[in-house]
Amino acid sequence: MYDVIIVGGSCAGLSAAMTARMRNMEVLVLYAGDGSMGKIKQMDNYPGMPNVSGEELLRIFRKQAEDLGVISKKQLVQKILPMGKSFSVLAENDLYEAKSIILALGIARVSPLTGEEELLGQGVSYCATCDGMFYRGKQMLVVAGGIEAVEEANYLSELGQVTYIIEKAHDTAALAPGIKVIKEKPLAIHSIDNMRMMLKTDQNEHEADGIFVLRPAVAMTQLLPEVIAQKGAVLADDNLMTNIPGVFAAGDILGAPWQAPKSVGDGNVAALAAASYLRTLK
Ligand SMILES: Cc1cc2nc3c(=O)[nH]c(=O)nc-3n(C[C@H](O)[C@H](O)[C@H](O)COP(=O)(O)OP(=O)(O)OC[C@H]3O[C@@H](n4cnc5c(N)ncnc54)[C@H](O)[C@@H]3O)c2cc1C
């Protein structure tokens, strides 16, 4: 049981993790990638770090967090379940538990395809490692939302026949040779007689045994549907606690201004508030 699980390992999440460790909390950071920070070529408004790239700043943050005893794992979080006074967090094949949660996911850009959420677990999967084995020797479609999908599609191609449909442009040079790539816009998923799956694109329909939707993020409606958001931004009070007691938010997920120094400050506030919240549980 962790004191806090932080979802997101960029500037807001790592800042929260460092402050939480300073307050002696047991901290787990789960992150899918570098988020918006990874896209910054040069930043000139980060105090004390002129002309720094997002990648370099993250490298320094990660080292500092690790030195403070923060445990970080690169895993996509699929679901957070409130369990009374604690939370269960499902990340790929693993289930974790924590007394509090800090959401530091960045800007939520995920718009699920029509039918995707309804068919999750019934032919649609978000995790190649977890569900790939069910499709041994079968036909699979991968809806790829980022470069992270390449490695997972390569793994699936060792099990069966994979067709790769690019949802959001990214480099596919590292895809295994046997994978067929289709450049069509995915629109909707439906099942055929509860047996096979059908993906409708702007140009065609593609049939398969299973569809893997592999994006570096999960829609908030899927991750934690109980949390209240408005125009894509999670609502929180002055202490950055959301409408769910014990769930805090930090960084771009809270809406504008979308800025790195502000996100770092949010992480600090959310971690201190989580520490106060934990005291109320005792
Ligand atoms: C091109 C570009 C240039 C920019 N330039 C500047 C600048 O010059 N100055 C400035 O102040 N700001 C700049 N920004 C904005 C800045 O990058 C963001 O404000 C900042 O990165 C927000 O930090 P964050 O931690 O909230 O989110 P992000 O940096 O987006 O990180 C989100 C984290 O959450 C993780 N995540 C998301 N979903 C999941 C999930 N389901 N499971 C696990 N992990 C998940 C991601 O992998 C990532 O680790 C720029 C942004 C871009 C895109």
Residue 140 burial (10 A CB sphere; 0-12, 13-18, 19+): buried
Task: Tell me what pLDDT residue 108 has.
Answer: 67
Q: Distance between CA 201 and CA 210 in Å, rounded?
A: 16
* Total number of domains in the chain: 2
pLDDT tens digit at each of 282 positions of the chain: 999 999 999 999 999 999 999 999 999 999 998 999 998 999 999 999 999 999 999 999 999 999 999 999 999 998 999 999 899 999 988 999 999 999 999 986 778 899 998 898 899 998 888 889 999 999 999 999 988 899 999 999 999 999 999 999 999 999 999 999 999 999 999 999 878 999 999 999 999 999 999 988 888 888 999 999 988 899 999 999 999 999 999 999 999 999 999 999 999 999 999 999 999 998
For residues 17 and 92, membership in a common domain is answered with yes
For residues 200 and 247, membership in a common domain is answered with no
For residues 271 and 138, membership in a common domain is answered with no
Asked whether 77 lines ligand 1 (CB < 6 A), one says: yes
pTM beyond 0.75, yes or no: yes
Q: What 8-state DSSP symbol labels residue 113?
A: P
For residues 11 and 47, membership in a common domain is answered with yes
Query: 102: which 2 tokens?
Result: 């800090």
How far away, in angstroms, is 106 Cα from ligand 1 center?
Answer: 5
Q: Which residue range is the domain that position 206 belongs to? A: 124-214
- Whether 114 is in a domain gets the answer no
* Domain CATH number, residue 41: 3.50.50.60
Nearest CA to ligand 1 atom 31: 35
Q: Distance between CA 33 and CA 105 in Å, rounded?
A: 10
Asked whether 8 lines ligand 1 (CB < 6 A), one says: yes
Asked whether 35 lines ligand 1 (CB < 6 A), one says: yes
How far away, in angstroms, is 231 Cα from ligand 1 center?
Answer: 18
How far away, in angstroms, is 135 Cα from ligand 1 center?
Answer: 34
Task: Tell me what pLDDT residue 193 has.
Answer: 81
For residues 51 and 130, membership in a common domain is answered with no
- Whether 222 is in a domain gets the answer yes
- Whether 116 is in a domain gets the answer no
